[in-house]
């Protein structure tokens, strides 16, 4: 091949690569960044999708100190039979391609979760390379998913952020919500030894107003999104809500507690003493006793006394031990209540079945089929709690004890 032809060929190759026109290249102003997706079912039985799209100009403008008179997010709705059809139908209303890589939140309507279940929805999310595996899932409780997705919030410009952060903080400080992502939910849906639980979210207040800008303009927000309990699933369908103590108890069993407060009644006064958990560990073991499965749970918690509204003598070791014992009893009751509730629901949300599978695979093969309905509800669970009080804050005795002495 002489020089001339070689040069020609090279030039053609180079020209070819340049005229490729760049597939897959998308400029930022050609894409609609979706930050949250809401899924509902309407009366005709079709899926309704609500997409929360970020309006970058308004977000950035607000960040740089410009006025917040324009909403930082926009909502688009579409109906269809499956998730990708929603995507396609929504594109008729939006001037850009929807870009899901930053969709951190998926809200599922309560009715959809109760009636249809989750099994039909999640495949598109899991298979698509655009969607994140770490997307958080939340169930809309008492409202429709679209209500949550539409809400405008004051502090977090993008309300999806607010929902996610609220759930995370609640999980950390109270234990009444659980921050769970898509991958975990699917894992739990598939596993025969564990059922998923998903946090609930609702909008309190004037639910007609949450999508208006005035909602964010006053200091006392009229329509306020709130975390609301934990939803229990069985076979992919929502069957129960756990609130308050039951929720906290379940989280203790699941070892997902971080900095919870435990309240203790003392001498007739309700919740007079507050114990703040700093560190905890829940160890669960599965055994086979006399051919029957048995679960033993050991909890060990360490923490401080943070509030004492009764005149306790916190300098006395015996008092502290007494408090510890009472705390342990209280916690044990909470956890046992939660387990009983789960057994009533016939849904093994704690993963005891998985535990059996890991430690006694042969027996698990026999128990697997009827675990949820037969074996789990009759399961013997033994709970042992140890609490330790390490410190009492900056004071030892509460000032109340001195106050009473003065009176005497």
The answer to whether the beta carbons of residues 193 and 357 sit under 8 Å apart is yes
Give 48 or 98: the residue with its C-beta nearer to another protein: 98
Nearest approach in angstroms of CB 346 to another protein is 22
**Residue number with CB closer to another protein (64 or 218):** 64
Output 63 or 278, the one with its CB closest to another protein: 63
CB of 129 to another protein, least distance (A): 4
Tell me the pairing of strands 105-109 and 136-140: parallel
Give the number of other CB atoms < 10 A from CB of residue 254. Answer: 18
CB of 4 to another protein, least distance (A): 5
Supply the minimum distance, in Å, between the C-beta of residue 282 and another protein.
13
Nearest to 241 by CA among 348, 120, 377, 139: 139
Least distance between another protein and beta carbon 114 (Å): 26
- Minimum CB separation of residue 153 from another protein in Å reads 15
DSSP 8-class letter at 386: E
Rounded to whole angstroms, the Cα distance separating 163 from 356 reads 35
Contact footprint for another protein (CB under 8 A): 3-4, 7-8, 17-18, 20, 22-29, 31, 33, 35, 54, 56-57, 59-61, 63, 99, 101-102, 104, 129-130, 132-134, 158, 183, 186-187, 190-191, 355, 357-359, 361
SS3 state at 48: strand
User: In terms of CB distance, is 297 or 312 closer to another protein?
Assistant: 297
Beta strand 47-54 with 292-308 is: unpaired
In the bound state with another protein, the residue whose beta carbon lies nearer, of 30 and 374, is 30
Phi-psi group of 22: left, alpha or beta (phi > 0 → left; psi -120 to 50 → alpha; rest → beta): left
Look at residue 83 and give its three-state secondary structure: helix
Would you say 132 or 346 has its CB closer to another protein? 132
The kind and range of the H/E element at 160 are: helix 159-173
Q: How far is the CB of 239 from another protein (least distance, A)?
A: 23
**C-beta of 222: minimal distance to another protein in Å?**
26
| Nearest to another protein of 60, 321 (CB atom) | 60
Give, in degrees to the nearest 5, the angle at Cα 31 between 28 and 36. 115
Nearer to another protein by Cβ, of 3 and 378: the residue is 3
User: How open is the CA angle 342-147-76, to the nearest 5 degrees?
Assistant: 125
Tokens of 139: 């169930």
Q: Which is nearer to another protein, 12 or 133 (CB)?
A: 133
CB burial of residue 80 (10 Å; 0-12, 13-18, 19+): middle
Six-digit token string for 85: 């059809």
- Report, in Å, the least distance between residue 281 CB and another protein: 14
The edge-to-edge listing of strands for the beta sheet with 269-289 is: 261-266, 269-289, 292-308, 380-391
């Amino acid at each position: 091949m002489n020089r001339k032809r070689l040069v020609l060929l090279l030039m053609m190759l180079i020209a070819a690569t340049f005229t490729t026109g760049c597939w897959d290249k998308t400029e930022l102003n050609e894409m609609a960044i979706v930050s949250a997706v809401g899924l509902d079912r309407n009366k005709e039985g079709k899926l309704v999708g609500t997409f929360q799209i970020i309006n970058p100009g308004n977000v950035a403008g607000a960040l740089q100190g410009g006025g917040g008179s324009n909403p930082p997010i926009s909502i688009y709705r579409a109906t269809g039979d499956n998730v990708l059809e929603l995507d396609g139908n929504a594109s008729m209303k939006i001037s850009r391609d929807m870009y899901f890589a930053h969709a951190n939140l998926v809200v599922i309507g309560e009715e959809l979760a109760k009636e249809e279940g989750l099994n039909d929805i999640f495949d598109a999310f899991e298979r698509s390379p655009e969607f994140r595996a770490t997307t958080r899932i939340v169930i809309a409780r008492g409202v429709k998913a679209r209500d949550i997705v539409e809400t405008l919030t004051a502090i977090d410009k993008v309300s999806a952020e607010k929902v996610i952060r609220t759930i995370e903080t609640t999980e950390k400080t109270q234990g009444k919500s659980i921050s769970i992502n898509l991958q975990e939910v699917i894992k739990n849906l598939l596993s025969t030894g564990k059922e998923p639980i998903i946090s609930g979210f609702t909008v309190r207040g004037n639910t007609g107003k949450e999508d208006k800008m005035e909602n964010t303009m006053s200091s006392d927000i009229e329509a306020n999104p709130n975390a609301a309990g934990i939803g229990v699933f069985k076979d992919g369908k929502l069957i129960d809500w756990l609130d308050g103590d039951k929720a906290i108890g379940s989280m203790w069993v699941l070892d997902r507690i971080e900095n919870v407060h435990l309240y203790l009644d003392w001498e007739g006064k309700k919740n007079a003493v507050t114990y703040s958990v700093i560190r905890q560990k829940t160890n669960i073991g599965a055994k086979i006793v006399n051919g029957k499965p048995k679960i033993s749970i050991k909890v060990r918690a360490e923490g401080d006394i943070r509030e004492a509204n009764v005149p306790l003598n916190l300098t006395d070791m015996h008092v502290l031990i007494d408090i510890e014992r009472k705390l342990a009893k209280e916690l044990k009751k909470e956890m046992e209540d939660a387990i009983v509730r789960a057994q009533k629901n016939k849904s093994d949300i704690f993963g005891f079945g998985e535990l059996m599978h890991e430690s006694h695979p042969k027996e698990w093969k026999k128990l697997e089929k009827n675990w949820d309905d037969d074996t789990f509800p009759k399961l013997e669970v033994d709970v042992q709690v140890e609490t330790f009080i390490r410190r009492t804050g900056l004071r030892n005795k509460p000032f109340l004890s001195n106050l009473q002495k003065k009176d005497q």
